[in-house]
Structure 1
Amino acid sequence: MENEAIMSLLLLPWLKFALCAVLIGLAGPVLARSGDTIARITGLSRSWVGLVLLATATSLPELFTGVSAAAAAAAPNIAVGDALGSCIFNLVLLVLLDVLSPDEPIYRRMEQGHILTAAFDVILIGFVGALLLIGRGDLDLRIFHISIYTPFLIILYFVAMRASFFYQRRNGAGSALGAGTSEPGLGAAIARYAAAAAVVGAAGSWLPFVGLEIAEVMGWRTSFVGTIFIAAATSLPELVVTVAALRLGAVDMAVGNLLGSNLFDILVIAIDDIAFTDGSLLASASSAHAGSAFAAVIMSGIFIVALLYRPGARFLGKVGWVSLFLLAIYLLSSYAIFLLGH
């Protein structure tokens, strides 16, 4: 009986985690389809759909999870780990895209306009990584409980969105999607979008508490749980939408979704800092998360090089060497956060 009680104690948090992951995984595609329908009806460009509309929709789990972790669970490591872990997870999804692109390396099928978004990813994620290391002690400057650096993250995000918009308009990237003959009305699309967002929000708000339970029963560090498990669960919409877009031949929409999600995840950190009332969020989180931030910066840099160089060689004819480097950095950073996190 005692062993059964112990097993139940260990399994219950994992069952809760699985339920959250399933709900997010089911709601994610609905969010994406509804967002795409809204884009078709309103005439937004395909690249803008990936960068802003889909990225925002698929990043809702990170938003709800981060705010819940910061405001209700008082778990800064879960909030920061989820956001930065999602950035790394989104970039490692490029490996999956490459594997699912058997004809030629995925990096030869992308627009070079993604370099601009990836460069902003480097700036924002690198800024967060630096703050995790030096934004403490005498440099932990705050207005009330909000870090003085948080407004800069918000401003940089909107600068990135504005620059991407004008770049696409100036270069004519991504023609407008034509309205489909069987598209539902705009009102119905918005209603489905809102319903799916509610499901994502409910599951995302529950995740940080489940993460803390897992960390407690397994004896794991909360920074590791946030970076690996919760980040993977909240990135399920990105995974589903990215694969679906690739199968439709919309490579640039898929890549725009991943890179735009990374930008939005940094905005989420700024919002989490506002919701976290016990001080500065980044100063309260483990500095080990800087390793995740710099891993994401390195991976973004590798992606930029791949877009400029467009390598053609593939390991065993299945996956490019660039993808193998991305995967190696993801695994090394995950192991480092497991060893060094709190």
Structure 2
Amino acid sequence: MVEILIPFLAIISSCYLLKYSCDTFEQSAAYLGRKLPPGIKGATVNAVGSSMPEMFVVISFLFWFNDPDMVMVGLGVTAGSAIFNGCVIPALSILMAKDENGKSVSAISLDKGSLLRDVFWVLSAEIMLVVFLGFSQMTLWMALALNACYLGYAIHLYVDSKRNSDSVDEEEYEYEEIKSRGFFINILTFNFNALLFKNKEFSLARAIAVLSLSIIVIASASHLLADGVIDTADVLGVPDFFAGLIFGAAASSIPDLILSVKDAKNGDYEDAVANPLASNTFDTTVAFALPLCVWFLLNGKTELAMQTGEDLNILRWSIIGITVAVACSLLFNHKKVTKSIAFLLLTIFAAWAGSMFYII
């Protein structure tokens, strides 16, 4: 019985580690990106911070397990994360949203222009990935093209931010301080700024030190998650790919979920919805493709055989279909996104997860 529970405990433990280590990562990364315009900062600092788990899971399969065939499990994590981010995170953000007085609201409103921009790039990234997965091999040039797609998104955000607002001055930099709650609690929550620097205001050296330590914890947690996903598949008797698609994706999306719900509770509805969409673009392009680029270059190869089949085709197109459904639900109701839309998104996710289990 204990052996059966161990894989699930590993996944739960990785969720805990990822939650607090990503909090620390975002705190120090926000300081390092303090001079960036808001748009480019959100597309780089915020997206990278909440998407580090997906990237390190792919890195773990490629380099730690040293098994390129396992990259399909990493793809399952990033693909499942895209569905989770698109459906569950906006839904819970809507349900948990509050106004400036801290009272629950029945609906939220979103900026249509910003929503269209984020939807365009996440769909572009997903369509590009789906087309590439239609081939029997993933090549170096395909991986580079995915990274270039994210670069285009970042440039678009930068142009938008310059058009609508001035750059952020260093003096205007603010961050949510992670309060010191005693030595042992600080250790358990990876509050490195409190442990090492007594919660003093960041300097460049302090921020880099805290960022580096948080990356080490995120990498370790992602490796634990990768182990848990493989072992869970063995226990349940399901393909490794499916375990990554559901369990790995949900666990790696914990930082996105917490960040968006926190924004929604603070009345920052735009950020709450933009974060998962931007993270999806990052996951689909950089988190999956950048480790592949490095693997190609280090091993002197230009192509990697990919799993093909009807099941994968269904998954590929379901990602785009669900993204379109989520986009339409938000765009057509952007002036008043009600809780009924939230329940619709949760229903879509449950139906997708059930159908994937049945098919795969």
Q: TM-score range by the shorter chain?
A: 0.7 to 0.9
- 1:77 and 2:80 aligned: no
Alpha-carbon distance in structure 2 between the residues aligned to 1:173 and 1:299:
36
2:135 maps to what in 1? 135
Alpha-carbon distance in structure 2 between the residues aligned to 1:233 and 1:207:
8
Q: TM-score, normalised by structure 1?
A: 0.82
1:3 maps to what in 2? none
Alpha-carbon distance in structure 2 between the residues aligned to 1:173 and 1:224:
45
- 1:55 and 2:71 aligned: no
Q: Cα gap change, 1:57/1:27 in structure 2, threshold over 3 Å: closer, same or farther?
A: same
Count of matched residue pairs: 319
Alpha-carbon distance in structure 2 between the residues aligned to 1:95 and 1:105:
11
Give the CA RMSD over aligned residues.
2.8
Partner amino acid for 1:216?
Answer: D
Alpha-carbon distance in structure 2 between the residues aligned to 1:89 and 1:168:
28
Q: 1:19 aligns with which of 13, 22, 47?
A: 13
Q: 1:324 aligns with which of 343, 350, 353?
A: 343
Are the counterparts in 2 of residues 150 and 270 from structure 1 also a CA contact under 8 Å?
Answer: yes
2:86 maps to what in 1? 91
Q: Cα gap change, 1:254/1:287 in structure 2, threshold over 3 Å: closer, same or farther?
A: farther
Q: Which residues of structure 2 form unaligned runs of 5+?
A: 98-103, 176-199
- Note the alpha carbon deviations across 1:271-309, whole angstroms, 9 max, x for none: 343437799557236653444443442343344432354
- Note the alpha carbon deviations across 1:187-224, whole angstroms, 9 max, x for none: 32332222112100111123222211111122122121
Aligned-pair CA distance for 1:337: 2.2
Alpha-carbon distance in structure 2 between the residues aligned to 1:273 and 1:180:
35
- Bigger drift between 77-86 and 66-75 goes to 66-75
- 1:335 and 2:357 aligned: no
Q: How is 1:78-157 mapped onto 2 (pairs within 5 angstroms)? A: 78-92=73-87, 93-101=89-97, 102-106=104-108, 108-110=109-111, 112-132=113-133, 134-136=134-136, 140=137, 146-157=139-150
SS, match of residue 28 in structure 2: helix
Are the counterparts in 2 of residues 69 and 208 from structure 1 also a CA contact under 8 Å?
Answer: yes
Q: Cα gap change, 1:169/1:44 in structure 2, threshold over 3 Å: closer, same or farther?
A: same
Q: Cα gap change, 1:295/1:94 in structure 2, threshold over 3 Å: closer, same or farther?
A: farther
Are the counterparts in 1 of residues 73 and 240 from structure 2 also a CA contact under 8 Å?
Answer: yes
Are the counterparts in 2 of residues 64 and 205 from structure 1 also a CA contact under 8 Å?
Answer: yes
Are the counterparts in 1 of residues 264 and 272 from structure 2 also a CA contact under 8 Å?
Answer: yes
Q: Cα gap change, 1:313/1:189 in structure 2, threshold over 3 Å: closer, same or farther?
A: closer
* Aligned-residue identity in percent: 21
- Bigger drift between 251-260 and 84-93 goes to 251-260
Are the counterparts in 1 of residues 39 and 160 from structure 2 also a CA contact under 8 Å?
Answer: no
SS, match of residue 306 in structure 2: helix
Q: How is 1:302-317 mapped onto 2 (pairs within 5 angstroms)? A: 302-305=325-328, 306-307=330-331, 309-310=333-334, 312=336, 314=338
Are the counterparts in 1 of residues 52 and 287 from structure 2 also a CA contact under 8 Å?
Answer: no
Alpha-carbon distance in structure 2 between the residues aligned to 1:109 and 1:179:
25
Alpha-carbon distance in structure 2 between the residues aligned to 1:48 and 1:104:
31
Alpha-carbon distance in structure 2 between the residues aligned to 1:254 and 1:45:
18
SS, match of residue 59 in structure 1: helix
Aligned-pair CA distance for 1:253: 2.9
Alpha-carbon distance in structure 1 between the residues aligned to 2:167 and 2:343:
29
Q: Cα gap change, 1:286/1:9 in structure 2, threshold over 3 Å: closer, same or farther?
A: farther
Alpha-carbon distance in structure 1 between the residues aligned to 2:252 and 2:240:
16
Alpha-carbon distance in structure 1 between the residues aligned to 2:167 and 2:126:
26
Partner amino acid for 2:212?
Answer: A
Q: Cα gap change, 1:169/1:297 in structure 2, threshold over 3 Å: closer, same or farther?
A: farther
Alpha-carbon distance in structure 1 between the residues aligned to 2:314 and 2:227:
24
1:35 maps to what in 2? 29
Partner amino acid for 2:160?
Answer: Y
Are the counterparts in 2 of residues 110 and 251 from structure 1 also a CA contact under 8 Å?
Answer: no
Q: 1:294 aligns with which of 286, 293, 317?
A: 317
Are the counterparts in 1 of residues 77 and 248 from structure 2 also a CA contact under 8 Å?
Answer: yes
Q: TM-score, normalised by structure 2?
A: 0.78
- Bigger drift between 122-131 and 276-285 goes to 276-285
